[in-house]
């Protein structure tokens, strides 16, 4: 299958493996790229020198295109971008910030730029800023999330109506049927997160991967909206947040409960009680831990099966 997304990224499939904190290191990104998707390293949980190491290892592990996801609110953003440019990374996904800030610099350096949004308004701003494609991410997505709470099913056609550039759907997509549904709604490709957390190559702690596999419908919830909305698995930390909410907490009290390094503690170190466990609603449909290549192969096969079923409707 060739389309605007495979052409843009020079990949076999219009599938992006999301650059997730504490999950998407060089192992996962290179495995996804080697299997025909676009692998992304998640810079959000990496110090600049750690990111540099992951990029270097990823280049050794694959000769296919891969990219880096960069939350632009990152304190060392200048260093991060310099490393990306110096290392000759071909694709950058930016999020959490103004797409105008970095797009032209990156593009002048021959980098394909994609911006992640959660609303129509920001999709239009990203297009105006000159990005090559937009990821529109719905409310069901894991981790940080938009304030409009617009779902994938409604966000994709509303964004499609307003922008012309390639559109990648994210949030709730873990299967080939989901991929086809997103494309029916107007997407050119898909970004897949939660499904790759439950991959062998994800750097997530095995206990967290197993909890993702065990998760069912209703086991995640968007919370901490006063700080930055984030979708979490319901665990002790989540219950503690709920308890605090009953008291009508100030923003500072919420920040204080969150503390520092909760996400690392949960997703990377495997503290399922006290850690922050970011995952999407579609975790309820994920039942095994597989190699990334198998995830991609299965998605592509399911996509073709789903296409065949459409013919019978």
Please report how many Cα atoms fall inside a 13 Å half-sphere around the Cα of residue 222, on the Cβ side.
18
Q: Which stretch binds a second copy (CB under 8 A): 16-24, 42-50, 90-98, 217-225?
A: 217-225
Q: Which of 57, 186, 207, 297 binds a second copy (CB under 8 A)?
A: 186
Residue 117, φ and ψ in degrees, nearest 5: -130, 165
* Closest-CA residue to 202 (of 20, 43, 80): 20
Stretch touching a second copy by CB under 8 A, among 25-33, 60-68, 267-275, 301-309: 301-309
Contact between 99 and 75 under an 8 Å Cβ cutoff? The reply is no
49-88 residues near a second copy, rule: CB under 8 A: none
Burial class (CB in 10 A: 0-12, 13-18, 19+), 294: middle
Number of residues forming the site for a second copy (CB under 8 A): 50
230 vs 295: CA distance, rounded Å: 25
Give the x-and-dash track for 119-138 against a second copy (CB under 8 A).
xxx----------------x
* By CB under 8 A, residue 11 contacts a second copy: no
260 binds a second copy (CB under 8 A): no
Given 56, 73, 206, 310, the residue binding a second copy (CB under 8 A): 310
Size of the chain in residues:
313
Contact status, residue 208 vs residue 277, Cβ threshold 8 Å: yes
Question: Among candidates 182, 210, 225, 183, which has minimal Cα distance to 266?
Answer: 210
CB closer to a second copy, 63 vs 217 = 217
Shortest approach of a second copy to residue 306 CB, angstroms?
6
Q: Look at phi and psi of residue 148 and say left if phi exceeds 0, alpha if psi is from -120 to 50, else beta.
A: alpha
**Could you say whether residue 227 binds a second copy (CB under 8 A)?**
no
Residue number with CB closer to a second copy (77 or 173): 173
Q: How far apart are CA 295 and CA 309, in angstroms?
A: 21
Q: Which stretch binds a second copy (CB under 8 A): 83-91, 105-113, 204-212, 218-226?
A: 218-226
Separation of alpha carbons 228 and 212, rounded Å? 22
Task: For residues 65 and 45, give the distance between their C-alpha atoms in angstroms, rounded to a whole number.
Answer: 21
Tokens (6 digits) for 152: 């994938």
Q: Which stretch binds a second copy (CB under 8 A): 98-106, 113-121, 204-212, 266-274?
A: 113-121
| Of 38-46, 102-110, 235-243, 279-287: span binding a second copy (CB under 8 A) | 279-287
Smallest gap, in angstroms, from Cβ of residue 62 to a second copy? 26
User: Exactly one of 104, 105, 154, 256 binds a second copy (CB under 8 A); which one?
Assistant: 154
CA end-to-end span of the chain, whole Å?
Answer: 22
CA 91 to chain centre: 14
**230-233 and 220-223 strand pairing:** antiparallel
Q: Are 37 and 191 in contact (CB under 8 A)?
A: no
| Separation of alpha carbons 139 and 210, rounded Å | 23
Examine residue 181 and tell whether it contacts a second copy (CB under 8 A): yes
Exactly one of 284, 295, 296, 299 binds a second copy (CB under 8 A); that residue is 284
CB of 169 to a second copy, least distance (A): 9
Stretch that binds a second copy, among 18-26, 147-155, 202-210, 268-276 (CB under 8 A): 147-155
Return the number of the residue (49 or 305) whose C-beta is nearest a second copy: 305
Give contact residues for a second copy (rule: CB under 8 A): 1, 3, 119-121, 138-140, 148-155, 157-159, 161, 171-173, 175, 177-178, 180-186, 216-218, 221-222, 248, 280-282, 284-285, 306-307, 309-311, 313
């Amino acid at each position: 299958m060739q389309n605007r997304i495979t052409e843009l990224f020079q990949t076999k499939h219009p599938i992006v493996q999301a650059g997730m904190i504490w999950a998407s290191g060089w192992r996962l990104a290179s495995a996804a790229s080697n299997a025909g998707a676009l692998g992304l390293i998640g810079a959000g949980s990496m110090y600049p020198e750690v990111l540099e190491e992951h990029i270097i290892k990823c280049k050794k592990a694959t000769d296919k295109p891969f990219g880096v996801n960069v939350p632009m609110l990152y304190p060392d953003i200048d260093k991060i971008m310099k490393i990306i440019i110096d290392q000759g990374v071909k694709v950058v996904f930016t999020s959490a910030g103004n797409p105008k800030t970095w797009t032209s610099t990156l593009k002048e350096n021959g980098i394909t730029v994609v911006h992640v949004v959660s609303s129509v308004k920001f999709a239009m701003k990203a297009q105006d800023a000159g990005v090559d494609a937009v990821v529109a991410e719905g409310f069901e997505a894991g981790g940080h999330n938009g304030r409009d709470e617009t779902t994938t099913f409604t966000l994709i056609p509303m964004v499609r109506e307003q922008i012309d550039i390639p559109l990648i759907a994210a949030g709730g997509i873990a299967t080939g049927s989901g991929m086809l549904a997103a494309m029916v709604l107007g997407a050119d490709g898909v970004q897949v997160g939660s499904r790759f957390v439950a991959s062998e190559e994800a750097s997530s702690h095995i206990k967290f991967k197993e909890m993702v596999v065990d998760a069912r419908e209703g086991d995640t919830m968007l919370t901490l909206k006063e700080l930055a909305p984030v979708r979490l698995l319901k665990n002790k930390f989540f219950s503690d947040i709920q308890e605090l909410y009953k008291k009508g907490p100030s923003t500072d009290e919420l920040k204080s409960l969150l503390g520092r390094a909760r996400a690392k503690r949960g997703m990377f170190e495997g503290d399922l009680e006290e850690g922050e466990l970011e995952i999407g609603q579609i975790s309820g449909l994920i039942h095994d831990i597989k190699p990334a290549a198998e995830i991609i192969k299965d998605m592509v096969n399911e996509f073709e099966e789903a296409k065949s079923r459409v013919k019978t409707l």
